[in-house]
Structure 1
Amino acid sequence: MTIAEAYAVCAGIAQREAKNFYYSFRVLPENKRNAMCAVYAFMRRADDISDDETLPVAERRVVMADWLEAWRAARRSGVSDDPVFLALNDTQRRFAIPDALLEDLVRGTTMDLDLEGSQAGMVYVTETVADKTQTLQVYQDFEGLYRYCYLVASVVGLVCIKIFGYTDPRAEDLAEKTGVAFQLTNILRDVSEDAGRGRIYLPLQDLSSGRVEVKQLLQVVRREAETKVVRSLLAQEAARALVYYAAAEELLPLIDKDSRAALWVLVTIYRGLLERIMAKNYDVFSERVSVPTSRKLMIMAQGMGMAVRNRMVS
């Protein structure tokens, strides 16, 4: 398989699966767009292994370890029959992306497969709601959740700015915080879905300060209690996310001009998602909140216009 064919496979994965991310890829120069697709395809595979509920957690850990070792072998040899590994090798070479960042990304994914929970700052809570007993992984405090956000989202941001290009080292801290903003938005959107998988990403410390018990949250998820029970808790997390979104505004002028439009598109879509959650008064339980495709296309069109203007003045 040629490098071009490998990148085409990754582009297909990104187009099919990336949703919010793919709109930002479209406004990048071709070489950077290909690189982003390769990184996304790698991330997608790690997520798919972690979330494959057809396998017990212990088996998923084995599959993840085998897949990770196959990637490491591809890095050592420089060859692979896996198109994602082949394209990613080329991307890492072109944009000087260290293995350590991608190792951290996978480490973040495997935190959800931590059977003990101790390394991830998690505890296990068992609750019975409507005669159904469920054991859930819950973060104890925001410090533990921040570490999770760093590994699954901030690391992605640090990889992205390697592709986007930057010279000011301040960009790294700002990319980390922007990633946290994105992941907090995802956590708010996915409260119900995550609870169904036995995970609560709203820290116990925050639940306690908001006088919300885990059982009450599960009752809201199951539509056995009204949203208002947890509204102030979700509002607290949204306010925290907005603080981190401020970093994105500072990051934008620090990356290369030919990539600023892509970052703007991504931030605008994600922050728009948070704003829609807030506008729905934090009802993320009756249906999945999303930014309409028409709105995403409009944002992408604006981004393309921005990209053209930036190339003209470069």
Structure 2
Amino acid sequence: MTPIQYCYEKVKTSKSNFIWAFYFISQDRRDALISLYAFCREIDDIVDETLELEVATAKINWWKAEINRLFHETPQHPVTKSLLKFIHIYELNEAYFIEMLDGMEMDLKFNRYENFKQLQLYCYRVAGVVGILSVKILGFKNQATLKYAHDLGIALQLTNIIRDVGEDARKNRIYIPLDELKEFSVSEDEILKFKESNHLSNLMFHQIARAEVFYKNAYQKLPKEDINPQIPGLIMGKIYETLLLEIKRDKPEQTLNHKVFLPPFRKVLVILACFFKNKFYALSN
């Protein structure tokens, strides 16, 4: 199995929504994005599957050393071997890969966040940075597009947090800021025991409103000249934004006990609508 074949298998088995956006780009850019997301899956799996803190920390440190080897052109892992070609073509910075690993370390060190400032740093590291690297791979002319990527990445991660409140609670993780739990009169114990309430509903609507602001800001920051190459990212944004609206439409506190999914046909409709809308807008005027 070649390094790029390994990456495709890694992403395929993850059943990620990101796969839906890969059909609208050239083979070379697709291979680069697949390699990037395979890297994301590798380091995510450390947190998700490694129970011993010391072992997980050692794995993160190994990947930090591997990123150093990658940028010295001596990678050992199939994912980094696949990335080697693309870090030069698309000018992918080493610091961004280290930021992602720092985000994984935050998951090892913290299972609570005191306020949104702390949470936003986590969201930037695990998702905003991925958005920025994706923008570089897809291509852009205007530096403002990097700000779009930053905000869209955070919006996607906030949506994941909202969707996965119950799943995270089962792992003794609460990503909703603790000061906001206090503000809305929701205790940690209520979340950990999956108790739905009006207070929790209000708290979740607050989280949804914040994510909506990040989506809105992201789309507003994307310059028109970069819409066409960034359509894959816009598609991903619309899939997750539609998921967020589904959660909002139902009782959002139910995410404690029920994980919301979009069926494939809904995703196809969202993809087609987003593709044709943005293609038309990019070509107009």
Q: What is the TM-score of this pair, normalised by structure 2?
A: 0.91
1:304 to partner: Cα distance: 5.8
Structural mapping, 1:52-71, within 5 Å: 52-53=49-50, 55-71=51-67
Q: Deviation string for 1:80-133 (max 9, x for gaps)?
A: 45321111111111100110011101111111112xx5xxxxxxxxxxxxxxxx
Q: Identify which range, 58-67 or 255-264, moves more after superposition.
A: 255-264
Does 1:21 pair with 2:30? no
Greater share of helix: 2
Cα pair distance change 1:255/1:94, threshold 3 Å: farther
Does 1:111 pair with 2:98? no
Equivalenced residues, count: 283
Q: Which residue of 1 is the match for residue 219 of structure 2?
A: 249
1:97 alignment partner, SS class: coil
Q: State the identity %.
A: 29
2:251 alignment partner, SS class: coil
Q: Deviation string for 1:6-40 (max 9, x for gaps)?
A: 22321222233152111011211211111110100
Would you identify which runs of 4 or more consecutive aligned residues in structure 1 move more than 6 Å? 306-313
Q: Using the alignment, how far apart are the partners of 1:311 and 1:235 within structure 2? A: 33
Q: Which residue of 1 is the match for residue 171 of structure 2?
A: 197
Q: Using the alignment, how far apart are the partners of 2:155 and 2:82 within structure 1? A: 28
1:212 to partner: Cα distance: 1.1
Kept in 1, the 8 Å contact 2:4–2:82? The answer is yes
1:294 to partner: Cα distance: 1.5
Q: Identify which range, 282-291 or 7-16, moves more after superposition.
A: 7-16
Q: Which residue of 2 is the match for residue 127 of structure 1?
A: none
1:43 to partner: Cα distance: 0.6
Structural mapping, 1:60-209, within 5 Å: 60-76=56-72, 78-114=73-109, 117=110, 137-209=111-183
Q: Using the alignment, how far apart are the partners of 2:191 and 2:164 within structure 1? A: 13
Kept in 1, the 8 Å contact 2:172–2:192? The answer is no
Kept in 2, the 8 Å contact 1:36–1:160? The answer is yes
Does 1:279 pair with 2:253? no
Kept in 2, the 8 Å contact 1:10–1:41? The answer is yes
Kept in 1, the 8 Å contact 2:17–2:236? The answer is yes
Cα pair distance change 1:102/1:16, threshold 3 Å: same
Q: Which residue of 2 is the match for residue 125 of structure 1?
A: none
Task: Give unpaired runs (5+ residues) of structure 2.
Answer: none
Q: Which residue of 2 is the match for residue 295 of structure 1?
A: 266
Q: Which residue of 2 is the match for residue 126 of structure 1?
A: none
Q: Identify which range, 291-300 or 187-196, moves more after superposition.
A: 291-300
Q: Using the alignment, how far apart are the partners of 1:217 and 1:244 within structure 2? A: 25
Equivalent residue letter for 1:237: Q
Q: What root-mean-square deviation, in Å, do the aligned CA atoms of Structure 1 and Structure 2 show?
A: 2.3
Correspondent of 2:231 among 256, 261, 272: 261
Q: Using the alignment, how far apart are the partners of 2:216 and 2:278 within structure 1? A: 22
1:266 to partner: Cα distance: 0.5
Equivalent residue letter for 1:175: A
Q: Which residue of 2 is the match for residue 228 of structure 1?
A: 198
Task: Give unpaired runs (5+ residues) of structure 1.
Answer: 118-136
Kept in 2, the 8 Å contact 1:6–1:84? The answer is yes
